[in-house]
Amino acid sequence: MANVPGDISALEAPFPGTPDAPVDRMLECVAVRSESPDVKTFVFRDTTRDAPRFVAGQSMLLTLHIDGERVDRTFSIASAPGTVAGSETLELTLKRQPAGRATRWLHDELKPGMRVSSRYPLGVFRLDAVPQGPLALVSAGSGASPLMSMLRTLARHAPDQDIAWFHAARRVEDILFADEIATLQARMPRLQATVTLSLPGPGWFGLRGRASRRLIAAAMPDFFTREVYCCGPASFMDDIRRIHAADGARHARFHVEHFGAVTVSTPPADREASDTDKSFDVTLGNKHFTARAGETVLMAASRQQVVIPCACASGICGTCKLHKRSGAVDMQHQGGLSTHDEAEGFILACSSRPLSDLVLDF
């Protein structure tokens, strides 16, 4: 049988355990595959001998230099961890976003032999162990990438697992990983796969329309009994969570990965802040805003319509990294910033609370 991306033959390593702490690494691009008209898979080799361990579902930060500017973006890893020793590769399957500087550069410029800086593994959206019950992997668009890492991992370590794959796409040419999933179904007797298209063309006989309770029920009548891993646009994930909860499912068994920017809500000011009414002036490039006591830089910026790119909003991914030129902050992140970047004066907007007036830039 011909190999497919993520081929599972001869791979019998134990199920991956706890991932390593995030570290900075240099990656070399070794291959680029076209998956659809606007989606490519980039295959990387970690140039260090001992690549850090990651768990299926986790992500990595790429640092790119585009037109003389540093651009940091976080992407989910699509490949499975734990490949044969000496042949480790990492795969990112990325859609070219018309307004996305990073994805446009990667699609247009990145070629085999080129190197990029990275930081990984990142993220708490991950499959830490073989599920004890039936599983649902639900995705929309490029949100299929971290779920594909999970499916490839389960194919390797638990091929008899009860898995329902549900994917929402616009057109038939936008369906990701279709050939590989068909191959995996031949090896995984309890894997069922369903796709719904919002813009189906002639000859499409599958489900059509946006994900809804009716479509989910048609594809997975026992959806509410399944542990769910869901990735896609925020509105999609919110809809799927409501459908899952509507039938009495337990919320603790629903896991989401934020795909793209997230909305940051500002909680009510704490009692101490309201008593002192303290605030700090923040300058970010040519923009100015104020931060209340106890409020993160990201919360304050979002409240005043100042855009700071972000993904996880929890100190993991590093997307909201800013350079602090002056001022003091209380920063509590979860590995999204290296010690070198901290020493160079970088902060994470989502994890930094001003202690004084600040001057920042991207």
Domains of the chain by residue range: 23-122, 135-258, 271-361
Is residue 90 pLDDT above 50, yes or no?
Answer: yes
Distance CA 335, CA 121 (A): 9
Cβ atoms within 10 Å of 305's Cβ, excluding its own:
8
Which range, of 7-11, 21-25, 152-156, 238-242, averages the lowest pLDDT?
7-11
Q: Please state the rounded mean pLDDT for residues 204-215.
A: 93
For strands 321-326 and 358-361, give the pairing.
antiparallel
Question: What is the pLDDT, as a whole number, of residue 17?
Answer: 59
Amino acid identity, position 115:
R
Could you report the per-residue pLDDT of 241-258, keeping only the tens digit for each? 999 988 776 655 888 886
Report the percentage of the chain scoring pLDDT > 90.
55
Question: What is the pLDDT, as a whole number, of residue 300?
Answer: 94
Question: What is the pLDDT, as a whole number, of residue 271?
Answer: 38
**Please, how many CA atoms are within 13 Å of residue 276, restricted to the half-sphere of its CB?**
9
Question: What is the pLDDT, as a whole number, of residue 204?
Answer: 93
* Backbone Cα Rg of the chain: 21
What the block records as the tokens of 103 is 């994805």
Distance CA 120, CA 334 (A): 12
Per the prediction, the chain carries an average pLDDT of 85
| φ, ψ of residue 203 in degrees (nearest 5) | 90, -5
Helix (H) or strand (E) holding 148: helix 144-157
Amino acid identity, position 318:
G
Question: What is the pLDDT, as a whole number, of residue 154?
Answer: 94
| Cα angle value 39/223/160 (rounded, 5°) | 75
Among residues 27, 109, 77, 4, which one has the least CA distance to residue 257?
77
Question: What is the pLDDT, as a whole number, of residue 15?
Answer: 62
Which range, of 83-87, 200-204, 274-278, 325-329, averages the lowest pLDDT?
83-87
What the block records as the tokens of 36 is 């659809």
**Full strand arrangement of the beta sheet holding 254-258:** 207-208, 191-197, 163-169, 135-140, 227-232, 254-258
Beta bridge partners of 196: 168, 207
Give me the CATH topology for the region 23-122: Elongation Factor Tu (Ef-tu); domain 3 (2.40.30)
Question: What is the pLDDT, as a whole number, of residue 86?
Answer: 43
Is residue 266 pLDDT above 60, yes or no?
Answer: no
Cβ atoms within 10 Å of 3's Cβ, excluding its own:
9
Distance CA 159, CA 169 (A): 26
For strands 191-197 and 207-208, give the pairing.
parallel
Architecture of the domain delimited by 271-361: Roll (3.10)
Is residue 261 pLDDT above 50, yes or no?
Answer: no
CATH 2.10.109.10 fits 135-258, yes or no: no
- pTM of the predicted structure, to 2 decimals: 0.77
Chain CA centroid to CA 22, Å: 15
Distance CA 134, CA 65 (A): 43
Question: What is the pLDDT, as a whole number, of residue 339?
Answer: 77
Stronger pLDDT, 291 or 264, i.e. the higher one: 291
227 near 135, Cβ under 8 Å?
yes
